[in-house]
Amino acid sequence: MSSDTRSKSPPPEQAQTTSRRTLALATAAGACALAAAAAGPSLVFALAPLQAQKSSGRWVKTVKLDQLQEGVPRRVAIVDDRKDAWTVERGVELGSVWLVRRGDRVLALSAVCPHLGCSVNAVVTPEGRGGGGGFACPCHTSAFDPGGKRTSGPSPRDLDELETKIDDGHVVVDFRRFRIGIDEKVET
């Protein structure tokens, strides 16, 4: 019986080797855990701007519908909180859009010229009716009709239209930005 028990015990050298392997494995596992813990905040830090970019579209309340005259463009500021991955600024002017009332619906056009990003103006007709002559960019003379369609100049596309809805009597705009200088309407 006693000789069986002795035969199951590893020799001293083998026992030392086994305990060194166990120590090495434990050290490696600990190092991995530390590396993951250290990388975690860095990964969040690196990926956060990507997540922030995904939320570029936002519904922003603007003026009351009855403050718009039928067919007469009105430029309104888009004011909302500006958020990035780490901070929030309250009540920041993010840009502006042209609103044109058409009955109970409202056409919203980005005020940013698709050519190189200047701010477009409504053209006042000789009779003094704002917007009856469409829109014009003061930088390189691109021109657009009252619906935002490009009629002349170097702009590569029409003015960028934005979605709108009426909520509690107010015009709410799905505010987005688009790349300039290209034919396609591509959100930034």
Choices 7-15, 33-41, 114-122, 170-178; region in contact with ligand FES by CB under 6 A: 114-122
| Minimum distance, C-beta of residue 119 to ligand FES, in the bound complex (Å) | 9
Near ligand FES by CB under 6 A: residue from 65, 97, 108, 113: 113
Choices 8-16, 49-57, 83-91, 152-160; region in contact with ligand FES by CB under 6 A: 152-160
Choice between 147 and 153, CB closer to ligand FES: 153
Q: Is 140 in the site for ligand FES (CB under 6 A)?
A: yes
Q: Is 110 in the site for ligand FES (CB under 6 A)?
A: no
For every residue of the chain, which 3-state class applies, written as one string? CHHHHHHHCCCHHHHHHHHHHHHHHHHHHHHHHHHHHHHHHHHHHHHHHHHHHHCCCEEEEEEEHHHCCECCCEEEEEEEEEECCCCEEEEEEEEEEEEEEECCEEEEEECECCCCCCECEEEECCCCCEEEEEEECCCCCCEECCCCCEEECCCCCCCCEECEEEECCEEEEEECCECCCCCCCCEC
First-to-last alpha carbon distance for the chain, in angstroms, is 81
Q: Is 143 in the site for ligand FES (CB under 6 A)?
A: no
Q: Is 139 in the site for ligand FES (CB under 6 A)?
A: yes
| Minimum distance, C-beta of residue 38 to ligand FES, in the bound complex (Å) | 47
Q: Is 150 in the site for ligand FES (CB under 6 A)?
A: no
Contact positions vs ligand FES (CB under 6 A): 113, 115-118, 137, 139-140, 142, 153-155
